[in-house]
Structures are given as structure tokens and as C-alpha cells.
Structure 1
Amino acid sequence: MLNLLIMSYLAKNIKYIRKLRSISSAVLSEELGIPRTTLSGYENGHTEPPVSVAQRISELFNIPLEWLLHKDLSALGALPQAPDEVEPVVLAPEGGGIAIYNLPVSAGLAGLADIGFSEKPVGYIPYMSFTKGAEAAFPVLGFSMEPTVKNGDIIIVKQWHSLDVLDTESIYMLIAAGERMIKRIEPSAVETHIVCRSDNHTAFTVPKKEIAAIYKIVAVIKPL
């Protein structure tokens, strides 16, 4: 069992993170695989979350588990990054490679643009025949595109230059309104919009003018 102080921190932090990310209790409870009433009990401190739920939240939002359990994140004003860390210099392999960036891409979650990240490569993937033209790789957070793309997968992408020529069977990474997200996209009945679809979420439309960039996923790396 968790002691009362840890339960208090965890309850407060779950609610704080959810609101900071503008995620509804319905969406987060679905992502955690629990009833909405159970999540409410966790946030109000009436029900003790199992460690597996705390670990899932830690992984989902890229926050160390010890911070969820032992710190008041709201007092910090933002989700913290590990203090006093020196970002290592990662060199490209001989012959080059595809840079991996710690810029989480949303698969059904809002607010990922605010998560701590590194704009410098944290690693490289060697070039392969099926990644020809690929420009970068990113981690995925969320479950809306499972089983094709799962939470924790690394996507390899190349830039796509036209919203008028789309492969509706492919998955794309969109940058729109400050968010990075992966979707299947197709033309809309309204010419100025596109339709964004997820395998496990409701489709919605996005104005083309709000899309800053679009990339096609050419490969998905599954963690061991």
C-alpha cells in the first residue's frame, strides 16, 4: 500500500497533469483502460491507484515515476525535466544516419508540445533501403493508432509536400497548432479542410491553413 503522503502527491499530480495537457477525464481513463469513475477516485484521493497505473502515467507523459510519487508538480509551475543534466553530444555514425529527436508525437493525446524535449539528436538510425528519403525519427505517445503504431514506438518520417495528393492507407505526422500528431488523412468534402482519422478515435477535420508541415511515416521501429 502507498502511504498517505505519496497517495496525496499522486492524486494531485494526476489531476494537475491531465488539466495541464487539456486532456478530458474521459480520454485519459480510456488511455489507461479504466472507468472514468475510477480515475475520478484516484484524482480525489478516495481510491489508491495500483502501481501499474502510476507507471503507465509515468511512461505516457515521460515523467519519472519518483516525481509523480514524491513531488508536488503543480508547485513547479510546469512539468519538470531532470535537474542538472548535461545533454550529451551524439555524433552521427560514419556515412550518416537518420536523426532521432526526443520530440514526442501525439497518438490521441493533447498538449504534447509542452513536454520537455531535445531539439538536438539523441541518437541515429543507420540508413536502410526502405528509409530512402527519410529525414528524422520521433517517439510516439498514445494509443489511438494501435496496433499499427503503439505507444513507445519510434516513427521514421519524410516530408510530404502536398495535401492534395494523399495515400489514404498511409499514416502521416502533422504539425498543426503547435501539436505533433499522427493520423491517417484524406480529402474533406470542404475543400479548405482535410479529414484526420485514427484507428481508435473519432475522425475530425483540420483547416489546411493551420497545418505547418506534413510528413509521411515510412517505417516504425518497435522497442524490444
Structure 2
Amino acid sequence: MYFAENLKFLRMRRRKSQIDLAAELEITRTTLSGYERDVQPPFRVLVRISEYFNVSLDALIKYKLDVLSEFQLSQIEKGFDVDVTGSKLRLLTITVDKKGRENIEMVPVKAHAGYTGSYGDLEFIASLPKFRLPFLPENKTYRCFQVKGDSMLPVTENSWVTCSYVDNWKNIKDGKPYVVVTKSEGIVFKLIYSKLYKSELQLVSTNRNYAPYKVHISQVIEIWQFETLNSFEINA
């Protein structure tokens, strides 16, 4: 449970002193200090704190809020249930063409850094190049990412992988290729082995010169399942 550290994080995020916040919650500063040191508040106070910060009780207690992005925090404060375990639908920004059909946005390597910080910004997503592939099923949302590096040979550097959005991480298939958008590593194309029971994903390269590594799900922003490859090179 993360209530104590979340309370302190939310207070500091609002730039409130313990004295100021305690007064607004109608409790003493000593009582508030105790809550920030793992003293369990009564339910009525939990509800009051939840309403004050506009954060659900579930998020206030279960999620480690200080590892979420500002966009995720803003969505929680707007009442959306942004689930960091991947077990619920996640919010996704998309664009459509004049006929209302979803576009496939292209994310070149030069836009990788911008994407990790602006994935929820409609203006940024709308600025990306777009195309359509008529042979892809229309019941999925797609995005096309340019591959950086040679860790996933025979997929070569600067190839493009078109992927479908994974809205429920419990549907990840072990050993299959995915694009993973993370806070810590940026955008990577890897084989995934799900360890959601440990709140982790193991990311594996096909090029054995690159060691597998684990990423905590709190660092994961989006996951996209590989669908098609577009490359300008043929490996013999």
C-alpha cells in the first residue's frame, strides 16, 4: 500500500505545507504528519483526502503515484481510472481521416524522444506523418515505429514496424515481438516475456549481443504488438 508516500507526494505537488493542508482537511498538523508516516487514518478522513486531491481511493492507496507521468496523473485527477497494472483499458490519443477512419501514425527515430513525453498530446500526434494499409483488419488501432539499432536482427536499423495497440497487458504473448514505450528506455522493439505477477516485463533481443533486461510496469507507457515489417534492406 502506498497511502503514506502518496499523501506526501500529492501535498508537495500542490506545494502545500503540512500546516496548510491540515487546516484545509480540518485535522491537526501532528495528525497529518502521522498519516505521512504510515499511521492509518479513519475511512472518513481517507474519503476527505481523496476528494481534496480528486484522486480515487483505489489510486490513492494501491498505486505508487510518484512514478506516473504528469499526463497519467492529470487523467487520474480528471476521473479516469488509469491502471498501471495493464489489466484495464488505457487512454490512447489517435487521429482520423476525413472519412472518420483511424490513421496509422508514423513515429520516426528522430521523434522517439518527443513521443515519450507527448504521447497523450493530440497536437503532437496529429503532427506525425500518417498513412493507411487497406489489408489490415479495421478492428484494431495501429501505429508505425522506426526501429533504432540492430538488437532485433534480422530486422535492420531504420526499418519500420507497424503494430497494433495492446489495451490489456494480460493479453501479451510470451516470446512475441512488441514495441514498448517506456519512461526509462524510450521506445524499444523487443520480444516480451510477461511477469505481471511481479509487476515486471522481461525484454529480450534477438541479437544475442544484447542482454535481456527487466522493466517495471510503472515505467511502461504503451505496448504495441508487431503486425507487419517495412524495410528497404534484405538480409541474405
Give the structure with the larger strand fraction: 1
TM-score range, shorter chain: 0.3 to 0.5
TM-score, L = length of structure 1: 0.47
Give the structure with the larger helix fraction: 2
